[in-house]
Amino acid sequence: MFLKAGLTKVSSWEATLALFRDEYRVPVIPPAIAATFELTCSALLIVGLATLPLLGMIATIQLFVYPDAWSEHLVWGSILLCLLTRGPGALSLDGLIARAWARRRG
């Protein structure tokens, strides 16, 4: 889901900025920063990072952008919470980092 949305947004940066500026209207955060954050977190999730920032992004979208979309955000948040609480997968970057850190410590 995040990858598909990200690829759509990358295909036209100007349209993405207009979307963040005119439709999403996230308070306090400039459209370019909000768009970059979303795309970066989505890409990092693919390699096994950024679960917690994506939860924050979903909370922000729920509170400020689409407050009536709680059913979708609940599903996305549940999936991310599962990833966060179950730990990294065998092929994830954060799993590799955790194993390297454990070997280094002991």
Give the CA angle between residues 76, 33, 56 to the nearest 5°: 30
Whole-number mean pLDDT of the chain? 87
Percent of the chain with pLDDT over 90: 45
Query: Domain range for residue 49?
Result: 2-105
The domain total for the chain is 1
What burial class does residue 15 get, using C-beta atoms within 10 Å of its C-beta: 0-12 exposed, 13-18 middle, 19+ buried? exposed
- Look at residue 67 and tell me whether its pLDDT is greater than 90: yes
**pLDDT tens figures, 25-60:** 988 899 999 999 888 888 887 777 878 888 998 999
At 75 the pLDDT is 95
Q: How far is CA 74 from CA 14, 71, 81, in A?
A: 30, 5, 10
Predicted confidence band of residue 2 (pLDDT cuts 50, 70, 90): low
pTM for the model stands at: 0.75
At 44 the pLDDT is 84
